[in-house]
Structure 1
Amino acid sequence: MLKELGKSIILYGIASGISKSIMLFLIPVYTNVFPPEDYAVIDLIATVTIFIAIMGMLQIESGILRYYFEISENQRSSWISTGFWFISIISILLAFITSLFSNYISTIIFDTGNYSKILTIALFTIPISNIFSYCTVIIRCNKEPISYLLFTSLQLIFTIIISLWLVLARGYGVEGAFWGIMFGFLVPVFFMIIYLLKKSLLKLEISGQALNSLFHYCIPQLPGILGSWANTYANRFVMLSYLTLTEIGIFSVAIKIAGVFKLGEEAFRMSWGPFLFENLKKEGHKQLFGNVLVICTLLVMSLCSICALFTKEIYFFIIASSYNAGIPLTSMLFFALGFNILIQIVLIGPAITKKTIFNSVLGLSSFLVNIILLLLMVPKWGLIGVPLSLLLANLFMFISSWYTTERIYYIGFPIMKVATIITIGLLLLGLTLVFNQVIIIRMLLAIAICILFLVGYKSMKSNILNNL
């Protein structure tokens, strides 16, 4: 069963993560083309559009994923069509309405309306990107890895080629970056719709019964998703009150580099949901989920530690020197985003029991912790307070999610093993920040991490084999 999860992550998750982390691949070019101020503009506009995109999806795709294996095959086309048309209509309406206020939004954020055109371009990318995201979930549920890889690869290739052509060859600057994203989604979405039609999965229908069931599952968790968005992105607006656009741009690049773990989060999310619900009714599933948590915690903490140790070298080879102030920020952000992967495992209680209101309570609580810490730390410590507050907020989210799941659907997660691994990981982060200039010490620490990982994996091996 664990092998199935591993294969699923490789086949579906990594492709999905890469397609949603394109800016990570464009960083080496963009940081040499755009100064930190321009990168801050890209990031702030993206922050607004991600919020609108969440409202356009309303978590309908998670509802489809939740019920897909419960409804009959005859019902699936009706449910899929309902989700498709609902997301399409809502996303288009939200993009159009928000675009009417683009000049006002630009003035609020940047003290000028000069970025209203770029914001409008970004807004009308939302319906296309939401349809793309929804279709990938359907293909994933149908277990068609070749089609999945083909469509996500098309999106990746077209986005990179068009973006680089518009930014470098045509000199469109920041505007070209957003045009590239739009056209990168447009081509694969066209073929995805044809695919769904040929598979008879898409028709002109909206089922009231399906929509009602989806709303009951999805709407209660929407505030939590918005809280998660705010936890990761809303700090930009707090930063605007205390920091310059240059500093925001430096942070934006730092979190994009750490976004390799965002890629991992997306990869795991695409695989974990189907794996969870397919194994839920099987005997021994609680022990299986506990083993998954220990293995993933060991792997995530090890990778975070090694990445943090060599952040300086990452910047040296791929990032312009004007962004070097982001080196310590990136080290902390690796861990902050790494926790998001682990949160998905411990936050299974609400999904299993369909009490998704807990997702909202936990997400909003984590957001409040983040905001309070930001307001306390940023005025006193400056830019370094931003990743530190996010790290602590995500750690809070992890602990509270664990507690909630054990209360509403007891799993019996191995708390001591996981707590020990996390404590060692955070201690290594502290050593990384202290000895950042000494390459020999960092190399020795990296060797020690690899040894600890192998020892930890070996100690878990017998438990793993019992579940294969």
Structure 2
Amino acid sequence: MSIAKKLVGQTAAYGLSSIIGRVLNYLLVPVYTKAFLPEAYGVVTYLYSFVALFNVLYTYGMETAFFRFANKPGTDQRELYNKVLSLIGSSSLIFTAILLLASGPIANFIGFPERQEYIVWLAIVLAIDAIATIPFAWLRLQNKAVKFASIKLINIVLTVGANMFFLVFCRQVYNGDYLPELRPWVTSIYNPDFGVGYIFLINLVANALQLPLLWKELSIFRFRLDVDQLKPMLRYAYPLLFMGLAGMVNEVIDRILLEYHLPDNFYPNMSNMAAVGIYGACYKLSIFMSLAIQAFRYAAEPFFFSQANDKNSPQAFAQIMKWFVISCAFIFLFVSAFRDEIASVFIDESYHSGLVVVPILLLANLFLGVYYNLSVWFKLTDRTQFGTWISVGGAVVTIMLNLLLIPVLGYVGSAWATLCCYFAMAAVSYFLGQRYYPIPYPVRSIIGYIVLAVVLLLGVFYVPVQQVWLNYLIGLVVCALFLVIVAARERLLFFNK
């Protein structure tokens, strides 16, 4: 179908920045895991979990609301842009001012009283990111994918480059690994005691440099703060706020609960914060699934809204879902089958004890992607309150299962809690969606491909093989077998069946 193919093209365009950017950013994982012990990296994982939660609070669903209202007939998109950016900009500055004033007590509360500057830097990052969200949304609305991707990539390149400079080049010169003649100069700009502070400060500087790159979008902005006129958008957005907040709880609360709820000495010779660091590093191996989902989401949200009135859209949405699941099932199978080999490249060996969570988290993210696909029904019917309740229910499942499983299974329990949460959310959303906005999803095919990938993976894990090369061969064979079965089943008619 033509509109489905159009989505593929948009996904590729917007996904370029997401995929290349996150791959480049992923190159920092071996840098961090080699530069810092698991306990120090746990601090990064822990604090960025809070940042993820606050990111949702700072934008409170207005990005999606902006797309929804900008596509309504007769809307002055420029004026709407001015009003939304005025609101987000004002609220972001207020929120950040509060965090700056309270940075000392916050640092004490979360257990880092000597690192108040981390809170200050991250509070400023939150404001910058929230303000930049609307100009980026404007670029997406105007189909300026190249500029969108370029700015995102520049940000990532700056971040990766600065981290490589300080945490690899400067650290190794300082330690005397090479270029001893440069050590006096490096000593003047690099302090090993600054530790993970480099990660947070580099994030702040790189994100701030996005604003000059968005100058054209910011220069057309005129302050138009009119809360009364924005009330319909706020009514549409507030359920999305709770939905996003609950969704972020599902995504990051396990890191926070691991620190507080993991029994002492659960892992021999490892602190709770070190366990958080190992879990966070191994979670990064699910990036390949996250890439597919993020690329899809960038294009899908404006695409679904623009196709809402097309009579053929339900059939197109159904086909999109099927091929999305096929793609994600293959990613799940391939990454899980070669997790040890991938980990040996990207994660220091001191973190490998957590690799058992990788297949569980990959499958969990697959169901999260399914849920994002299914969420089209309540967004197009303006029943966003259902999304809120589904996400809140998922958050309850996540918290309860983490509390139950962490004392018994450690971070493996957190991984299973994540899988159960996303599966439950997808299932509930499907059954509600069929009632309010029926879409003829090929459910049997979708379930069949997921089960096929799981069964093939179990074959890889449980076939007793001693030779390394034979393990590689079996992994390649099962991945190829999956593709052959898909090709035979679909008869190679991509989006045309």
TM-score, structure 1 as length reference: 0.92
Match of 2:209 in 1: 187
User: Aligned letter for 2:412?
Assistant: I
Corresponding residue to 2:195 among 168, 173, 181: 173
Higher mean C-alpha deviation, range 256-265 or range 450-459: 450-459
Match of 1:392 in 2: 420
Q: Residue 445 of structure 1: CA displacement?
A: 4.2
**CA 1:35–1:163 in 2, change beyond 3 Å: closer, same or farther?**
same
Match of 1:206 in 2: 225
User: Aligned letter for 1:181?
Assistant: N
Match of 1:94 in 2: 95
Match of 1:196 in 2: 217
Task: Give the paired residue count.
Answer: 462
Matched, 1:218 2:237: yes
- Cα distance in 2 for residues equivalent to 1:433 and 1:83: 51
Q: Residue 274 of structure 1: CA displacement?
A: 1.8
Match of 1:381 in 2: 409
Higher mean C-alpha deviation, range 202-211 or range 144-153: 202-211
Give per-residue Cα distances to partners, 1:148-200, cap 9 Å, x unaligned.
222112111122222333444324421110111111111122220x21156x4
- Cα distance in 1 for residues equivalent to 2:100 and 2:461: 43
Match of 2:81 in 1: 80
1:348-367 equivalence runs, <5 A: 348-367=376-395
**CA 1:16–1:303 in 2, change beyond 3 Å: closer, same or farther?**
closer
1:225-264 equivalence runs, <5 A: 225-240=244-259, 241-242=261-262, 244-264=272-292
TM-score, structure 2 as length reference: 0.87
Q: Residue 231 of structure 1: CA displacement?
A: 0.6
Corresponding residue to 2:368 among 312, 336, 340: 340
Higher mean C-alpha deviation, range 37-46 or range 444-453: 444-453
Matched, 1:127 2:127: yes
Match of 2:183 in 1: none
Q: Residue 465 of structure 1: CA displacement?
A: 4.7
- Cα distance in 2 for residues equivalent to 1:287 and 1:463: 15
Structure 2 SS opposite 1:206: coil
Percent of paired sites with the same residue: 18
Structure 2 SS opposite 1:447: helix
Structure 2 SS opposite 1:203: coil
Structure 1 SS opposite 2:196: helix
- Cα distance in 2 for residues equivalent to 1:442 and 1:395: 30
1:315-334 equivalence runs, <5 A: 315-334=343-362
- Cα distance in 2 for residues equivalent to 1:437 and 1:246: 32
Show structure 2 runs of 5+ residues with no match: 171-189, 264-271
- Cα distance in 2 for residues equivalent to 1:72 and 1:118: 45
Contact 1:294–1:414 (Cα < 8 Å) also in 2: yes
Larger radius of gyration: 2
Give per-residue Cα distances to partners, 1:362-385, cap 9 Å, x unaligned.
001111112222222221122211
- Cα distance in 2 for residues equivalent to 1:18 and 1:459: 32
Q: Residue 28 of structure 1: CA displacement?
A: 1.5
Matched, 1:444 2:474: yes
Contact 1:17–1:267 (Cα < 8 Å) also in 2: yes
Contact 2:329–2:366 (Cα < 8 Å) also in 1: yes
User: Aligned letter for 1:129?
Assistant: D
Contact 1:78–1:207 (Cα < 8 Å) also in 2: no
Higher mean C-alpha deviation, range 131-140 or range 242-251: 131-140
Match of 1:460 in 2: 490
Please provide the CA RMSD for this pair.
2.2
Q: Residue 124 of structure 1: CA displacement?
A: 1.1
Q: Residue 430 of structure 1: CA displacement?
A: 4.1
Q: Residue 215 of structure 1: CA displacement?
A: 0.6
Higher mean C-alpha deviation, range 260-269 or range 458-467: 458-467
Q: Residue 23 of structure 1: CA displacement?
A: 4.5
Give per-residue Cα distances to partners, 1:230-285, cap 9 Å, x unaligned.
11101122212215111110001011221232232221111011221222222321
Matched, 1:270 2:289: no
- Cα distance in 2 for residues equivalent to 1:436 and 1:155: 46
Structure 1 SS opposite 2:27: helix
- Cα distance in 1 for residues equivalent to 2:213 and 2:496: 42
- Cα distance in 2 for residues equivalent to 1:161 and 1:132: 22
Q: Residue 24 of structure 1: CA displacement?
A: 2.1
Contact 1:17–1:265 (Cα < 8 Å) also in 2: no
1:277-288 equivalence runs, <5 A: 277-288=305-316
Q: Residue 60 of structure 1: CA displacement?
A: 0.6
**CA 1:9–1:159 in 2, change beyond 3 Å: closer, same or farther?**
same
- Cα distance in 1 for residues equivalent to 2:446 and 2:328: 11
Corresponding residue to 2:439 among 397, 411, 416: 411
**CA 1:368–1:394 in 2, change beyond 3 Å: closer, same or farther?**
same
Higher mean C-alpha deviation, range 344-353 or range 452-461: 452-461
Show structure 1 runs of 5+ residues with no match: none
Match of 1:138 in 2: 138
**CA 1:319–1:437 in 2, change beyond 3 Å: closer, same or farther?**
farther
**CA 1:317–1:191 in 2, change beyond 3 Å: closer, same or farther?**
closer
